[in-house]
Amino acid sequence: MTNFLLAIFAFLLAHVVPPAPPVRARLIALFGRRVYLTVYSAVSTLLLIWIIIAARQAPMIYLWYPAPWQAFVPIIAMPFAFWFIATGLAAQNRVSVTFRRNTGAGAQGTIIAITRHPVLIGFLIWALAHIPPNGDVVSLILFGGMGLLAFAGIPLLDRRARRRLGDAEWATVRAQTSIVPFLAIIEGRAHPHANRSFWLWSGLGLVFYVWFLLQGHRLLIGVDPLAWL
């Protein structure tokens, strides 16, 4: 359990200290944006691997036992999580997590009209969906902590975007987007126009979900998500 808690602490620390505006600005000034993002992504991946290994080695203390119906929760929810994450990382986004550079005030991906924080929404769905079928203490700490991290990141990124864009431009962004998925579209404030990149990454997200469901989860995590069905 100690190794698992250390891994969780290191992961949370890595997602609090380096992204802090003064630290992030200093690191980008020293190494460049591309190097910073590459190293940060690599470190995050290694820490996540450490968490998975430590979680599998930690003692199992159940608060509730898994039931077959609980397995349907992530199976139903995870296609949406993969879709938000894949399309969000590939979209041009001035206010949230993305692999694409910002190219101007009007540049944003189609997914941003659905929610301005698609990657964080995807990780939040992933975390919450894995709580029902995993009633042990370690899983609750893992998925609960990841969910809280994603949830807390939304207002943090909003405040950072407001400082960077200024009040006037931030007001425009808020008027055309929403945190809750599809809310801005329902209210008529956003009008998405799906392009080729959006459909490409939507398809890739779905393909990766199917592979992860049928094979990847068992190979990488050691658990077959279809075993209870």
Q: Which of 49-58, 61-70, 176-185 has the highest mean pLDDT?
A: 176-185
Q: How confident is the model at residue 201 (pLDDT cuts 50, 70, 90)?
A: very high
- Average pLDDT over the chain reads 88
* One domain for residues 112 and 213: yes
The answer to whether position 49 is within a domain reads yes
Do 69 and 173 fall within a single domain? yes
Residue 226 lies in a domain: no
What pLDDT is attached to residue 170? 93
Q: Are residues 41 and 110 in the same domain?
A: no
pTM: 0.87
Mean pLDDT over 79-100 rounds to 90
**pLDDT-above-70 percentage for the chain:** 96
Which of 46, 190, 187, 51 is CA-nearest to residue 118? 190
84/195 same-domain check: yes
Alpha-carbon gap, residue 223 to 213, rounded angstroms: 10
Would residue 141 count as lying in a domain? yes
Asked whether residue 72 is assigned to any structural domain, the reply reads yes
Q: What is the mean pLDDT of residues 189-196?
A: 85
Residue 227, in any domain of the structure:
no
Same domain, 108 and 42: no
Q: Domain residues for 106?
A: 62-221
Give per-residue pLDDT as tens, 104-138. Answer: 554 456 899 999 999 999 999 999 999 999 999 99
226 has a pLDDT exceeding 90: no
The count of domains in the chain is 2
Instruction: Using the predicted structure, report yes or no on whether residue 153 has a pLDDT greater than 60.
Output: yes
pLDDT tens figures, 56-81: 888 888 999 888 889 999 999 999 99
Residue 20 lies in a domain: yes
